[in-house]
Amino acid sequence: MPDLNTMKHLSIRWIGLLFVQNLVLLVLFAGAWHLRLYVRKAQGTQYKYNSRWLSADNPTFLFGNQLWDNVFWNVCSAVPIWTAYEVVTFWLQANGYVAIVSWQDHPIYCVLLVVLMPFWNDVHFYIIHRLIHWPPLYRSVHYLHHKNVNVGPWSGVAMHPIEHLLFFSAVILFWLIPSHPVHIVRLLQAMALGPSLSHLGFGRVVLGRSRFLSTEDYMHFLHHKYVTVNYGANVVPLDRWFGTYHDGTDEAQAAMNKRARGKAL
């Protein structure tokens, strides 16, 4: 990380450093999962929700290729907008426009922020996700992400730039309350990298004798399949509270169909 004093003045040097750092993190993280599951096919289609592989000849996607379409939106939109939010927030802190707290002076507050960040992230994501499912925004913005019915690790933040602006806006919380630069980095990295895990396309990733189970991945897979369910994650049960939860059971399917019939009337 560049020194905060350096960030008082906008400079290609430190902004470029942040951009390259974020780009490398995303490429390594999403790329590692893609390499294992979709290039080496280490476990074949075992535990894969959709037995088909990513589309390689589909005019729906840029370049006719789902992978390169996803990589394009990750590199050319997600990373620049992620970095831009980081740059603005650090600049505001460096110039005293928003308050900075010290871990040494306020350890309980700083730890509490770390603990509460997943809850804030979940609530924020649910709100903006419901917003971009509003038909005009869905047709003009969110449709791009939903082209990925059969998802993969690079599908996580393969989004329209307007959606990226909304998605990463969760960091605006730290424009309003005191925080430390670590909180900013932690929140934005979790938002940028976490979606790769919820878009793996596999219920279990076999690693030797152990198995990593991601129920959130399954819930979000169902969101891509049915569109009108599972808008949030699992930290705050907002989908349960607002009646949009689907766990793959017949009862959940019947409830979804009932909601759809009600809207059609």
Cα→Cα distances 151→38, 108, 138, 145, 162, Å? 11, 39, 18, 10, 21
Q: For residue 171, is it within any domain? A: yes
Q: For residue 168, is it within any domain? A: yes
- For 161, the domain range is 4-202
Closest CA to 151 of 70, 78, 42, 211: 70
Q: For residue 237, is it within any domain? A: no
pTM score, two decimals?
0.91
Q: Count Cβ atoms within 10 A of the Cβ of residue 178 and give its class: 0-12 exposed, 13-18 middle, 19 or more buried.
A: middle
Cα→Cα distances 63→34, 57, 68, 88, 143, Å? 19, 9, 7, 33, 17
Cα→Cα distances 164→7, 33, 50, 85, 246, Å? 23, 22, 26, 10, 25
Q: For residue 210, is it within any domain? A: no
Q: For residue 125, is it within any domain? A: yes
Domain count for the chain, please give it: 1
Q: In this structure, are residues 227 and 146 in contact, taking their beta carbons and an 8 Å threshold?
A: yes
Which H/E stretch holds residue 81? helix 79-94
Q: For residue 245, is it within any domain? A: no
pLDDT tens, residue order, the chain (265 aa): 888 889 999 999 999 999 999 999 999 999 999 999 999 999 999 889 999 999 999 999 999 999 999 999 999 999 999 999 999 999 999 999 999 999 999 999 999 999 999 999 999 999 999 999 999 999 999 999 999 999 999 999 999 999 999 999 999 999 999 999 999 999 999 999 999 998 999 988 887 776 676 656 788 888 988 888 999 887 888 998 998 888 888 888 888 888 877 765 5
Amino acid residing at 179: S
Amino acid residing at 48: K
Which H/E stretch holds residue 213? strand 210-213
Q: For residue 136, is it within any domain? A: yes
Per the listing, tokens 């037995």 go with 51
